[in-house]
Chains A and B, each alone.
Chain A
Amino acid sequence: MTGPRSWIARRLLLGAAQTAAVVLLVFALTEALPGDAAVALAGDQPDPERIAAIREAMDLDRPALERLADWTAGLARGDLGTSLASGRPVGTYIADGFGPTLLLAALTVALLVPTGVGLGVLAARHEGRFTDRLVSSLTLGVYAVPEFAFGVLLVTVLALRLGWVPPTAVGYGTDLLAHPAALVIPVLVLLSRPVCSLARLVRAGMIDALDSPYAAHARRYGVPGVRVRYGHALPNALAPATQQLARTVDWLLCGVIVVEALYVIPGLGTVLMNAVAERDVPVVQGLAVVFGVTTVVLNLGADLVARRFAPRTEAAA
């Protein structure tokens, strides 16, 4: 019998191993990518001599394992290393990018959960009827429209035609809170897809849950409809949706590259994108640590919720 406490302890332990694996894998991947920081820096002037010189200046001529070992040793001291491209500490890269990313993620999730769950429950309540078809078609339609097209539409209408919000956050730097209007379109674009996947999963679970004898029993006993839906049925419908939500939060925190680029929001996605393009291994590695930890924690959270809402799993023979 594994109690919840020992289960969490085990998962955290495994999480540490997973993060290490992520870091190793990312290191291997960046190494496996053709070209290195020197080649990336040389750009369209790939003079072999210059590349060799850059390599030497960046210490890239040392064996990969040695560099990894150095980096790991630094990590143990809490030092994420310095960027190959600029010589600035990796920590500052991550710290700079984290603010906008967190803000965007928090806003999106704050809107996503009520809309996604609400729409899913609404559709499930009216299964097969007009409301259901409408909600499903709308969310699926928005989902199937590519992100950029949806973004263009919003920019054209909300920003350029109506002038309600600025079209991009260019020039606002990391201080996005001072310009909340600039976040409207990015958040809407970020919402467009997760709302659909969340709503569809909630709908699927809710149809079965609302149809179950326990929901019928609660209704029979005059428990208010809202409470039947959200208090009784939803917990049983939530496990897959929670996984989906965790994936979404993970995606939001680990860099939403397209949206950041389209609206000039200098978040972690932009940092990652540039670092990969520059083959700035220490920065990519630093991000990998952050992303690895985030993913592990989120997965653990989602699994905890799933366990909480399916308590019988503990007792299975």
Chain B
Amino acid sequence: MDAVTAVAEIKNLRVEIDGRAIVDGVDLRVLPGTVTALVGASGSGKTTTGLALLGEYPAGALVSGDVRAPDGLVGYVPQHPAAVLNPARRVGALLRDVARAQVRHLPRRERRTALRERVLRALALARLPDAETMLRRYPHQLSGGQQQRVVLAQALLLGAEVVVADEPTTGQDPSTKRGIVEQFAALAREGIAVVLLSHDLDVVRALADEVLVMRDGHVVESAPPERLWRAPRHPWTAELLASGSGATRVEPVSEGATTLEVGPLTARHGRTAVLRLPGLTLHPGACLAVVGRSGSGKTTLGRCLAGLHRHHDGEVLLDGVPLPRSLRDRTRQQLAAVQYVFQDARAAFDEHRPVLHQVARTAVRLRGAAEPDALAEALTTLAALGLAEDLVRRRPGALSGGELQRAALARALLARPRVLICDEITSGLDTVTRKGILDTLAALVRDRGDLSLVLITHDPATAALAGRVVVLDAGEPVEEEAPARRVMTGA
């Protein structure tokens, strides 16, 4: 095995910012035809290590160690796909630009058709159906999962020797996820080196040839998956692998009262209706999971409730009082009552201000808390979600994906909402942290009594929290009250 030369290699990498090592002593060999997986706690340095393979480091970082980046281009699927999709260009143009280098050797006349073929094939491989419409869309017109698959398609188009994929399966439904896993396996079979950074242990287990477990910037253990799952050596690994299943299910306190009531509702993007809901009620203390394929309208539903998507007909009643369609017209009480946690946490933060202040502002604005009280409360809430003070005093750019997701949740929680809509808030969290968060949420619902949760998710563990599940398909609910397990595992 060692006879094979590594396409990229990291030796004793140390990345230090402001005197704090965020990655320390990491060794990594990327071999052709293998899948190397990095797992570990949120904020443990996976993304930093992955980027190091591309020769990229956070601004202002002090780097030491040997990094031999691959010679050619490296495919990269970033954790936050929205950021790398140019908002002013159509998906088609973004894909063609990547593929153009591949067809350069062809005669000029054939390039066009070849380009088109390649783009369409990549879309198919990335499990993006309805390619024609997709190509004409702008990135903001895609759902989170669709954006991710576009980025994946780009990586596939590149034809690189090495692909670094940072959480490529978050936001994907089980069947799509299986497709993507197959795709990576196929890549590896073709001799391409895949570096997979993921929290999704099922995926890692299915794909990886070698797994590195990280914690606090160190690799605590590395082994082939069979061995790791069989006999984890490090206690942290054991903990990580054990926390697979979800938290306790939350049952509604009382069926009688309703917090939120949604009438028949049709939501549109432009002329096309993307969501047709016959109705929905939410009881105090209830937890509802919204699941469904990527692009089925889950986010749209959440945004309609939150007043972020105005183009719908139908009413949303809070305690029997209709809520204004746009959140701009909602009163502070109404805003506080219905809070939404964005699917893309990074995009939803102001990159110029420290996270803590942004989180605290919710309490100040929506509950009239005094500034110091709000800050103190924000700190406690953030700490409960596993975010230390020195971390949250930084700007969003200096937080990891999972850290930001938790901060976004904290920001919504500070409003003391009555309806909390969480859009994929656990997709970037390791199993341990996820369990912690779900427990916190469950405890909150129990303690507060009037809080109802709407969990938009692909993750069975998260959905398991819900007493009720709505399955959306192409914008319409196909099943309600379905047992979460079944929905989440197969289709």
Where the two chains meet, the residues of A that have a C-beta atom closer than 8 Å to any C-beta of B are 1, 3, 212-218, 220-223, 227, 231-232, 235-236, 308-312, 315, 317
Contacts and interface: CB of A to CB of B under 8 A. Distances in A.
Nearest to A314: B270
Interface of B: 54, 56, 73-74, 76, 78, 83-89, 93, 97-98, 100-101, 138, 140-141, 154, 158, 268-270, 303, 307-311, 326-328
B88 A213 contact: no
Given A221-B97, A310-B88, 8 more contacts: A214-B83, A218-B86, A221-B98, A235-B89, A311-B138, A312-B87, A312-B140, A317-B303
A87 B319 CA distance: 76
Nearest to A213: B83
B138 A312 contact: yes
A229 to B, nearest CB: 13
A3 B311 CA distance: 13
Given A213-B78, A317-B308, A317-B309, A221 B88 contact: no
A109 to B, nearest CB: 23
Contacts of A317: 303, 307-310, 326-328
Given A317-B310, A317-B328, A311 B88 contact: yes
Nearest to A217: B84
Contacts of A221: 73, 97-98, 154, 158
Contact of A315 (B56, B88, B141, B307): B141
Given A213-B83, A227-B97, A315 B54 contact: no
A309 B88 contact: yes
Contact of A311 (B93, B98, B140, B326): B140
A214 B86 contact: yes
Nearest to A215: B86
Nearest to A308: B88
Nearest to B73: A222
B97 A223 contact: yes
Contacts of A308: 88
Kindly list the 7 A-B residue pairs having the minimum CB-CB distance in the complex, ordered from nearest. A217-B84, A213-B83, A235-B88, A214-B86, A312-B140, A317-B308, A311-B138
Contacts of B100: 223
A311 B87 contact: yes
Contact of B87 (A1, A220, A227, A310): A310
A236 B88 contact: yes
Contacts of A1: 268, 270, 311
Given A217-B76, A315-B269, A231 B85 contact: no
Task: Name, among A231, A312, A317, the residue most crowded by chain B CB atoms within 10 Å (CB to CB).
Answer: A317
Contacts of A3: 270
